[in-house]
Chains A and B, each alone.
Chain A
Amino acid sequence: MPFMDVAVQKVEALGPSPETFRAFYEEALPRIYGYFLHRCGGSVPVAEDLTQETFLASVGELKRGRRPETPIPWIYGIARHKLLDHYRRQARAEQPLADAALALDESRFLAEDDGARERVVAALAAVPASQRAVLVLCYLDGLTAAEVGGELGKSTAAVHSLLERGRESFKRAYLEVEL
């Protein structure tokens, strides 16, 4: 996973003590929030909800005695499951355009030079949810097609098909997005 860089390794142990948890929280929160914000069309409410669900789930694990040795990758794993659940809900409703509209309406506090990134986020939000999930898992989270298939309950061939369609959808959306 490309985001597991050296910096994240400085949080090495995680337990239920408030001091330890706070250090972990400060390190992990912007990463997890950014993870969701970029993958959910830039929607602040959705990113906040999923971030909250992720951290609550992590606390639930700690309360049950879990002591992750690599807490940042661990919470990314929880986040990925929350994201996939979110995509599945969206795929059932399949309202990518509504999501894209949300992304454009949901004004964000971005610096001027963030316009290009904003466009990418909006374009990604316009991609159908099933294709978006594959794009994100393959290109952002660095999973292989087989691993993505395992996560999504699809064959490798189906993942390749979704990936190809997702790429076309993304390119089309990227060219059409106006900010």
Chain B
Amino acid sequence: MNAGTKFAIGAVLIVGSVGYLMASGVKSTGQYFLTPSELSQKIAVDPSFYDVGMKVGARVVPGSVTRDVATRTLTFQVTDGGARYPVVYRGVPPDTFNDSVEVVVEGRLRKDGVIQATNVLAKCGSRYEAVPKA
């Protein structure tokens, strides 16, 4: 077997393991990214969407935010104009979080219809640009 063939085998091994790592990585860590409307449609036809890790991108409902600083509990509602879900988050929200931002909520939908968040990301206007004046 000449060196070229051996190298080809090595290359196939590397490319193969990159491919395998990527495929298994997507499988074990991929999360649905849904809007509240999409979530309510999915859940209507397939109850297995309860208690599955996912991300929900939506707008915070103005006036729905309550913070309990002492217990570090944050509750609010999110909507995309269609469906609306309450969210409970125990932890510290990012600086840019307020009741009129778009958020990405990472967590799972409990059976009682509340999203238990493990992480809340707030979309700022951009990292580089000013938040528009309300």
Do A and B truly interact? no
B-side interface residues toward A, CB under 8 Å? none
A-side interface residues toward B, CB under 8 Å? none
